[in-house]
Amino acid sequence: MRVLGIDCGTERTGYGVIDSDGRAHHMVAAGCIRSSARDPLELRLLNIAGTLRSLIAEYRPDSAAVEEVFFAVNAKSALKLSHVRGVALLLIAEASIALAEYSPLEVKMSVVGYGRAEKSQVQQMVSSLLCLAEPPASEDASDALAIAICHATHAPFRAMEAHV
């Protein structure tokens, strides 16, 4: 199964594409879509949408996973993040890709085994699980890969639950 993981952000949106059989994972691609904080939000969303659309067309994932909205101290930041999530969810739906959403706690538990893990711990475990020579340079790409790994390990169980 090929999984696209997306770590949404208005200035940096991470993406990670993996191939997985549910136990062994292989990184196909990872990176970060950067947008300038000086640009209007609509131009940042346009940049993110165009890049995600290209990634979906190039890598043709079977499924996609995105982090759920979490409580944020700054309501304005949370609203902007929700706009990026909306763009990602729309593109996933347009491409008829199965979508899964996971909380940050679920992602960390799945990858590190500890729900309050630090970003550096997530990076190290992503590197280990994907047998990478070194951790991904971008924390955003690493988080997106972690989301993809979380989905790859949970997808078989979700499929069984759907048939019960």
pTM equals: 0.93
What is the band of 163 on the pLDDT scale with cuts at 50, 70, 90?
very low
- Please, what is the Cα angle at 158 between 151 and 150, to 5 degrees? 15
pLDDT in tens, 1-56: 999 999 999 999 999 999 999 889 999 999 999 999 999 999 999 999 999 999 99
pLDDT in tens, 50-109: 999 999 999 999 999 999 876 666 778 788 889 999 999 999 999 999 999 999 999 999
The tokens 């280990």 sit on which residue? Answer: 128
For the annotated catalytic residues, the residue numbers are: 7, 67, 140
CATH code for 2-162? 3.30.420.10
User: What is d(CA 52, CA 15) in angstroms, rounded to the nearest whole number?
Assistant: 8
